[in-house]
Amino acid sequence: MDKLNRVRIADILKMQSFGQTINVKGWVRTKRGSKTVSFIALNDGTIIHNLQIVAELANFDEEVMKQITTGACISVNGVVVESFGQGQHVEIQAKEIEVLGTADPLTYPLQKKGHSLEYLREIAHLRPRTNTFGAVFRIRHNMAMAIHTFFHERGFYYFHTPIITASDCEGAGQMFQVTTMNLYDLKKDENGAIDYTNDFFGKQASLTVSGQLEGELAAMALGAVYTFGPTFRAENSNTPRHLAEFWMIEPEVAFNDIFDNMQLAEDFIKYCVKWALDNCMDDLAFLAEHFDKELISRLQSVVECEFVRLPYTEGVRILEEAVANGHTFEFPVGWGTDLASEHERFLVENHFKKPVILTDYPKEIKAFYMKQNEDGKTVRAMDVLFPKIGEIIGGSERESDLDKLSKRIEEMNIPMKDMWWYLDTRRFGTAPHAGFGLGFERLLLFVTGMANIRDVIPFPRTPNNAEF
RNA sequence: UCUUUAGUAGCUCAGUUGGUUAGAGCACCUGACUGUUAAUCAGGGGGUCGUUGGUUCAAGUCCAACCUGAAGAGCCA
């Protein structure tokens, strides 16, 4: 077979001139045809659309043509021609075909017909070859690029916080332990406690649940930073919105207050959504057509609308008013209790019908590091609530006063013995600062319109599932 | 983890108040077809009805436990 430069299908489909001979490589989606001619729909992952390869059967060995089945990988030399069939404006008239890899039709798990998302989860190693997951993972890449671009353009530094941590007070959830100890022969002291002094780190270590505390250290030096990395929660959560391993973006900015923080969060999400609309329209259109007809209009409305900013106390008042007017909730509403999903959904989907930033929660239901308000009852927390997916961002202005922070740590019985370094930020040159955390996969749920978080990460990690 | 719901061919599903040999579409194989658009048409092969136990003359169907998936809830991002 002649050696020609390979052209990506995304580029071939854009061609306006015809007649040149090129090489194209990709995986066969379908082959159809008649006695004399075969039509091969080829996809190479560069774009959701397939390229049509036309093969006159008289020019090719029958044995080679037989190997061209759904899932096979082929290399084609051929001429770019204008298509006179419907459904594409350009196609390849094949001159030479080489089968790079066959796919036995009896055992290849993907068919040309559609599969359920649940079935595709069982073959997560092959699902990137489907239209749906090709689209999702191209959008996933684009969102990562949008995130880095957004922060870089605004002078934020990408800061790498550790994945292994020995602090057990991040308070964001159950942690996965990291150890090199022999679990069949654990040494314990007289109280039955495990002795970690001979473990790899000389103390108990875990996978991080958040890079925030280290992010605060960086903000106290570099001014504005963000993290973007994997985080781990060992919660037994079985929902379409939770993963045991997920990616989180956590900006942290010196001198920002809660209002700057809200503005940053709103600008940030809008930037990402607009990026998707500007750069991923082919993939979004496919997802909209197959899963969520309102996807694109919902994305557009988020870019255009102004997020509602609402103190928790006001939110509770609205909910209590709704109850008084006859709306029934499964769980009671009252100042001091955390809002249930149904309450958040009511505010976002029924009452305001757009994203809501809820602020100033009671201090009892929020983390120790949040800045305390003058009223002595609330803290400067903010949750960004989105239609369909609920909480997409959680953040706050941080308590910068050493005494107030220390007192709160004591009140909440938080083990801070290994956290002297965190308190040093308040001890030496403390400054007001604020930040938030955004779950990358939650953002992707919103942008792709997918309903289950297991379908927006290549290899989901959930309770009882670490396959692939 | 709790509640609900589902598990029948490779995939998606139907299967009546329990009753003889468990069906369809797609996929796959064979054949037909002069350019198809998830091609079409004809034929063919393919099943331990999630697992274990129970009720019954008789269980895909009823009951129990367990396994697996999904939805809702809690926890959160």
Taking only the tens place, the pLDDT of each residue in A38-62 is 999 999 999 999 999 999 999 998 8
A26: β partners: A74
Q: Are residues A404 and A265 in the same domain?
A: yes
CA of A234 to C1' of B66 (A): 25
Q: Phi, psi (5° rounding) for residue A348?
A: -80, -45
The reported pLDDT for the residue numbered A187 is 82
Assess whether A239 (CB) lies less than 7 A from strand B: yes
Assess whether A394 (CB) lies less than 7 A from strand B: yes
The reported pLDDT for the residue numbered A174 is 86
DSSP letter at A443 equals H
Q: Are residues A137 and A84 in the same domain?
A: no
Q: Are residues A95 and A139 in the same domain?
A: no
Assess whether A362 (CB) lies less than 7 A from strand B: no
Residue A103, pLDDT > 80, answer yes
Go through A405-415 and write b for each residue having 16 or more CB atoms within 10 A of its CB, e for each that does not. bbebbeeeebe
Residue A50, domain extent: 9-101
Assess whether A204 (CB) lies less than 7 A from strand B: no
The reported pLDDT for the residue numbered A412 is 87
Residue A171, pLDDT > 70, answer no
A320 CB contacts (<8 Å, ≥6 apart)?
Answer: A333, A334
Assess whether A30 (CB) lies less than 7 A from strand B: yes
Of A226, A232, A246, A212, nearest to A398 by C-alpha is: A212
The reported pLDDT for the residue numbered A216 is 96
Q: Are residues A61 and A190 in the same domain?
A: no
For the four alpha carbons of A200, A204, A207 and A208, in that order, the dihedral sign comes to negative
Q: Are residues A372 and A418 in the same domain?
A: yes
Nucleotide nearest to A118 (CA to C1'): B69
Residue A104, pLDDT > 70, answer yes
Residue A128, pLDDT > 80, answer yes
Q: Within window 421-440 on A, which residues have Cβ closer than 7 Å to strand B?
A: 437-439
Q: Phi, psi (5° rounding) for residue A356?
A: -125, 135
Assess whether A210 (CB) lies less than 7 A from strand B: yes
Nucleotide nearest to A392 (CA to C1'): B77
What is the DSSP secondary-structure string of A121-160?
HHTTTTGGGSHHHHHHHHHHHHHHHHHHHHHHHTT-EE--
**Assigned domain for A61 exists:** yes
**Assigned domain for A340 exists:** no
CA of A110 to C1' of B27 (A): 9
pLDDT in tens, A134-157: 999 999 999 999 999 999 999 999
Residue A170, pLDDT > 60, answer no
Asked whether A257 and A358 are in contact (CB, 8 A), the reply is no
Could you give the C-alpha distances from A426 to A110, A363, A372, A430, in angstroms and in order? 57, 20, 15, 4
CA of A441 to C1' of B18 (A): 48
Asked whether A141 and A161 are in contact (CB, 8 A), the reply is no
Covered bases, chain B (protein CB within 7 Å): 1-2, 10-13, 26-29, 33-39, 68-77
What distance lies between CA A18 and its chain's CA centroid? 40
CA of A102 to C1' of B31 (A): 24
CA of A77 to C1' of B44 (A): 37
Average of per-residue pLDDT across A81-101: 91
User: What percentage of chain A carries pLDDT values higher than 90?
Assistant: 83
CA of A253 to C1' of B50 (A): 53
pLDDT in tens, A357-408: 999 999 999 999 999 999 999 999 999 999 888 999 999 999 999 999 999 9
DSSP letter at A332 equals -
**Assigned domain for A1 exists:** no
Q: Are residues A70 and A147 in the same domain?
A: no
Other CB atoms within a 10 A radius of the CB of residue A370 amount to 24
Go through A81-119 and write b for each residue having 16 or more CB atoms within 10 A of its CB, e for each that does not. eeeeeeeeebbbbbbbbebeeebeeeeeebeeeebebee
Q: How many domains does chain A have?
A: 2
The number of residues in chain A equals 468
Paired tokens of A428: 């030496």
Strand positions, DSSP E, A272-332? 308-311
CA of A464 to C1' of B63 (A): 29
3-state helix, strand, coil in chain A (%, to 5): 35, 25, 40
Nucleotide nearest to A388 (CA to C1'): B72
**Assigned domain for A462 exists:** no
User: What percentage of chain A carries pLDDT values higher than 70?
Assistant: 99
Q: Are residues A272 and A368 in the same domain?
A: yes
Assess whether A88 (CB) lies less than 7 A from strand B: yes
Cα angle vertex A339, ends A333, A341, to 5°? 115
The reported pLDDT for the residue numbered A114 is 80
Residue A261, pLDDT > 80, answer yes
Q: Are residues A73 and A133 in the same domain?
A: no
pLDDT in tens, A154-169: 999 999 999 999 876 6
